[in-house]
Amino acid sequence: MNARTASGPPAARHGWAGALATVLGALVVMGVVAALGLWAAGATDLPGDSFPRVLAATLVTAVGGSVKLSGDAGELAGTEGGLTVIPLSVTLAGALVAGWGFLRPLRHRAVAGAPELAGWAARIAVLWLLAVLGLALAARHTYELSLGEGPLGDLGDLFGIRPVVGFSTDVAPTVLIGLVWLAGVLLVALMVARGAPLPAGLLRLRTSLRPAAYAMVLLLLAAVGIGLVIALVVAATRGHPADTFAVILLGLPNVVWLALTIGLGATWDGRVEGPFGLPMPHVLDEVLRTPDVSALNLGTLTEHDGGKWWLLPVVSAVLLCAAAFVMAARSPARVRAWQHAVNMAVALALTVLMICLMVRISARVGLSLLGIGELGEGLSGQVLLRPRLWGALGLALLWGLAAGFAGAFLARAVRRTEGAGAER
């Protein structure tokens, strides 16, 4: 029997060549975005021709891996550090390309067998595993730190101390997390795309999960779009365009999705010390640069800066209602308002959970001499940002219920208006 059957169009061709094109496409786009962002951030000035290694480490963290910092400063000094942060601009770019590549051979079909989908995803996963393994092995480098002039440098010369710090990745966990990341991307792509085929046993998901998944992806992308417009205006009017473009290309979703949760009323705990800092807006850095862990929410932002922070809940509410309306409009008319509300609440809670897990930051570098503590801000620092998770999830459920009801009634009103127009 040939590929064409009486029940539909030819079966899609999705062999190893297609899988290779999907993986390479995602990696190339991620690499370009990360390289431009690092260039704007000044990473090309790092010593020792380390830029390719830093780029590899950036790609590793973009798929959920972590970078560990290590060092050797001899018997009289010690170094410590670690870095956990996801450059979500790079992550988002790779996810969009990988999802598109996964769905492209499956378009124009209503049903696909589970073995077919699993086989297609497995081909991509095998090549992706090899790519992440190569990146994890390449993401390692060492630097020699200068203690500078003055007493500190004199002590270093006296005791023969030449601090060396470096970064590397845990290969096995990085590969495992990279595969989990890919599985999540492919699953979300399958759930979101209206034209993507599903196994016959899962066709009911078209009317339950798909509208909610599509609405949440649309919500996140709309927030990024608004943030991009604001960032471009800032780059054009307030100077320091390189810093702004570094944020756009590396961490724009980190900022806007954090702002989205704050607009919902969530609170994050954080602290900034030393030479490190948080990206724009700079008020985030100012609020958290305190002797102890501080709260970051609408109250502290307004107290510190005043400004127009009251717009955050307004924008969040508008985006949520728009997403809820889209969800209801894409659902069958028989779905009741309370069902829309529950679906929206659960979907938003899962989305906020994802944001909380991906936006959190933990970074620390320290160097001590003769066991007497840190050597000063130039050689040590910390950035911490973590959510108050249960409060954020509870607020997401409440916002989701309210937006779900509003979206359902709005979609019903639109359907009635369209029906009345058709009768005329």
In the chain, the percentage of residues whose pLDDT exceeds 90 is 44
- Reduce the DSSP state of residue 83 to 3 states and report it: strand
What's the pLDDT band for 374 if we cut at 50, 70, 90? very low
pLDDT in tens, 47-61: 767 888 989 999 999
Helix axis angle, 241-263 relative to 337-359, nearest 10°? 140
β-bridge partners, 273 = 382
pLDDT at 78: 53
pTM for the model stands at 0.87
Indicate the SS3 state at residue 168: strand
Number of H helices, E strands in the chain: 13, 8
Backbone angles phi, psi at 158, to 5 degrees: -65, -45
Torsion of CA 340, 346, 351, 354, to 10 degrees: -170
Give the model confidence (pLDDT) of 309-336 as tens digits. 888 999 999 999 999 999 999 888 888 9
If you average pLDDT over residues 235-255, what whole number do you get? 87
Q: Which pLDDT tens digit goes with each residue over 259-284?
A: 999 999 999 998 887 655 565 567 77
User: Residue holding tokens 């030393």?
Assistant: 274
Q: Cα–Cα distance between 385 and 263 in angstroms, integer?
A: 17
Pure H helices in 146-203? 151-159, 171-192
For 2-52, write each residue's pLDDT tens digit: 444 434 444 445 688 999 999 999 999 999 999 999 998 887 777 767 888
Q: How long is the chain?
A: 424
Q: Are strands 67-72 and 164-169 parallel, antiparallel or unpaired?
A: antiparallel
- DSSP characters for 233-286? HHHHHSS-HHHHHHHHHHHHHHHHHHHHHHHTT--EEEEEETT----SSHHHHH
- Distance, CA of 103 to CA of 185 (rounded, Å): 11
What does each C-alpha distance from 118 to 15, 54, 113, 123 come to in angstroms? Answer: 12, 34, 9, 9
Rounded Cα distance between 190 and 179, Å, is 17
Taking residue 38's Cβ as centre, other Cβ atoms within 10 Å add up to 22
Neighbours of 82 (CB within 10 A): 14
Q: What one-character DSSP code corresponds to residue 9?
A: S
Residue labelled with tokens 């018997």: 75
**pLDDT at 69 exceeding the cut of 80:** no
pLDDT at 2: 43
Q: What single DSSP character describes residue 331?
A: S
